[in-house]
Amino acid sequence: MKIAFFSTKPYDRIWFEPMGKEYGFDIRFYAVPFQEETISLARGFDAVCIFVNDYVNADMIQSLYDMHVKAILLRSAGFNNVDVKAAEDKVLVLRVPSYSPEAVAEFAMGMLLTVNRHIHRAYGRTRDFNMSLNGLMGVDLYHKVAGIIGTGKIGQAMIRICNGFGMQVLAYDPYPNPKLDVEYVSLDEIMSKADVISLHCPLTSETKHIVNSNTIEKMKDGVYLVNTSRGALIDTDALIDGLVAGKFGGVGLDVYEEEEGIFYEDKSNEIMRDENLARLMTFPNVLITSHMGFFTKEATQAIAKVTLENAYALENGLPLVNKVGTEAAK
């Protein structure tokens, strides 16, 4: 099988290159993102392999179909970046539903601890031998209420971590897991009662801007908000308004609504033209990272393994257990 691999970073090759050779795949690595301007590079390949910020619209699906490309291999769990409906009966979409839920959940808790205890600010100060504690006071997490939105595998891992901190955990999910030992409540109750809100749901038409001006107004003053899922779960304009109003104790964002073309790239020598992102960076109680919650040795190895297993199943007519269909996309 010939695979065109887009948005390649050096760390992608660590696992994909040797594993691909074991499978006998011919993988061509491209540093450029997968977009309308680069789709011609997929000609002659059986599949394209893309990442979270490679967006595939209906026109691109048609182009892949015309070039006889059989599949889109997502090296991620989320698939909101692909027009799944347009792909039906034309191009298969295969994803990695689970790699290391603990990696993302651990990172989410790390973000919470950092913004709560101002570790990022303390690090900057002490590098300059400023040992003052002024402005660095946090709060105990013990006995605080953690609101977990989304109780898939990552949400479940976050619940276990919060339980370990002695927090009271409330959860919201439109499809509650009856086997999960957690108290499910309404979304409104999460927003009004939680001291900490952590987002672990997929991005769908129902969850887009689940955090907005109305839900922010319902939150406790001094609430902590963490998002390691998808940027568009949060209405950025509403978030900024809430920050200006002093609503939040701290905000940790590993994802951003308009991160395409910015995250995973070095923009340090450029003017940041995204005004909302630039403004978010000015708040001392906001921590932003570049969609790296998944980025552990174990998780990246698992992503490569499952992605290539998907390709192997396609090539050999085996059941496509990780196929994304229109039902899943609703």
AA identity, residue 18? P
Residues 46 and 31 in one domain: yes
Kindly name the residue from 75, 95, 257, 259 that is annotated as catalytic: 259
pTM: 0.92
Residue 106 is assigned to a structural domain of this protein:
yes
Kindly name the residue from 75, 95, 118, 291 that is annotated as catalytic: 291
Residue 70 is assigned to a structural domain of this protein:
yes
Domain housing 268: 101-288
Residue 64 is assigned to a structural domain of this protein:
yes
Residues 188 and 66 in one domain: no
Domain count, the chain: 2
Residues 67 and 107 in one domain: no
Query: Tokens 């699906």 identify what position?
Result: 61
Residue ranges of the alpha helices (H) in 55-204?
A: 58-66, 84-87, 101-117, 119-127, 153-164, 187-193
Per-residue pLDDT of the chain (330 residues; tens, 9 = 90+): 999 999 999 999 999 999 999 999 999 999 999 999 999 999 999 999 999 999 999 999 999 999 999 999 999 999 999 999 999 999 999 999 988 899 999 999 999 999 999 999 999 999 999 999 999 999 999 999 999 999 999 999 999 999 999 999 999 999 999 999 999 999 999 999 999 999 999 999 999 999 999 999 999 999 999 999 999 999 999 999 999 999 999 999 999 999 999 999 999 999 999 999 999 999 999 999 999 999 999 999 999 999 999 999 999 999 999 999 854 444
Kindly name the residue from 127, 230, 298, 309 that is annotated as catalytic: 230
**CATH number of the domain where residue 67 is located:** 3.40.50.720
Joined together, the tokens standing for residue 19 give 């594993």
Residues 57 and 20 in one domain: yes
Residues 198 and 226 in one domain: yes
Residue 92 is assigned to a structural domain of this protein:
yes
Judge whether 291 counts as a catalytic residue: yes
Residues 116 and 77 in one domain: no
Judge whether 259 counts as a catalytic residue: yes
Joined together, the tokens standing for residue 247 give 């609503």
Judge whether 298 counts as a catalytic residue: no
Residues 148 and 211 in one domain: yes
The SS3 call for residue 263 is coil
Residue 204 is assigned to a structural domain of this protein:
yes
Residues 138 and 180 in one domain: yes
The answer to whether residues 291 and 263 touch, using CB atoms and an 8 Å cutoff, is: yes
Residues 193 and 273 in one domain: yes
